Chain A
Amino acid sequence: MSAALKVVRPGLFDTLQDLGRIGYMALGMPTAGAMDRIALTLANALCGNPANTAGLEIGVMGPDLLVEADSVRVALVGPLSASLIDGPNNSQGAPPKPIDSDRTHLLKRGQVLRVGMVEGSSTAYLAVAGGFGLHPFMGSLSTYARAGVGGYQGRKLAAGDSLPLAREQAPPGDEKKFGQPFDYGSGPVRVVWGPQDDYFSSKGRRTFVESDYRVSKEADRMGIRFEGPTIEHSKGADIISDGIGPGAIQVPGAGLPIVLLGDRQTVGGYSKIATVASVDLPRLGRLLPGQVVRFSPVTVEEAEKLRRDQEARLQRAIADFKTARPPGGIDLARLYEENLIDGVVY
Chain B
Amino acid sequence: MTLYPIGVSVRYLSCGDTAFSVEFGNEISPEINGRVMALHAAIGQAKIAGVVETVPSMRSLMVCYDPIATSRARLEPEIEGLIARGLPTGMKTRQVTIPCCYDDKEFAPDLPEVAGRTKKKVEDVIRLHLASRFKVYVLGFMPGLAYIAGLEKSLYLPRRSQPRVRVPRSTVAIAMDMTTIYPFESPGGWHLIGRTPLWMFDQRREQPVFLAPGDSLTFQRIDRKTYDRISREVEAGSFDWARLVRS
Contact = CB atoms under 8 A, between A and B. Distances in A.
A252 interface: no
A106 interface: no
Q: Chain A: interface secondary structure?
A: mixed
A22 B52 contact: yes
B184 interface: yes
Interface string A213-228: 0000000000000000
Given A25-B55, A240-B26, A246 B16 contact: yes
A28 B145 contact: yes
Contacts, number: 159
Q: How large is the interface on B (under 10, 10 to 19, 20 to 34, 35 or more residues)?
A: 35 or more
A272 B40 CA distance: 22
A308 B67 CA distance: 7
Contact of B60 (A243, A247, A276): A243
Interface in B1-44: 13-21, 23, 26-28, 40
Given A240-B28, A304-B72, A195 B15 contact: yes
Contacts of B13: 194-196
B140 to A, nearest CB: 4
Interface stretch (B93-101, B206-214, B229-237): B206-214
Nearest to A28: B139
Contact of A301 (B23, B26, B27, B71): B71
A96 B63 CA distance: 51
Given A27-B143, A303-B16, A242 B71 contact: no
Contacts of B140: 28, 241, 265-268
Given A26-B139, A27-B212, A304-B72, A148 B17 contact: no
A248 B62 CA distance: 12
Given A242-B23, A242-B60, A301-B71, A195 B142 contact: no
Nearest to A267: B140
B52 A23 contact: yes
Nearest to A148: B203
B126 interface: no
B209 A195 contact: no
Contacts of B59: 240, 242
Interface in A175-224: 191-196
A29 B57 CA distance: 14
11 contacts: A26-B40, A28-B141, A137-B203, A147-B201, A154-B203, A242-B58, A248-B16, A267-B138, A268-B140, A300-B14, A304-B71
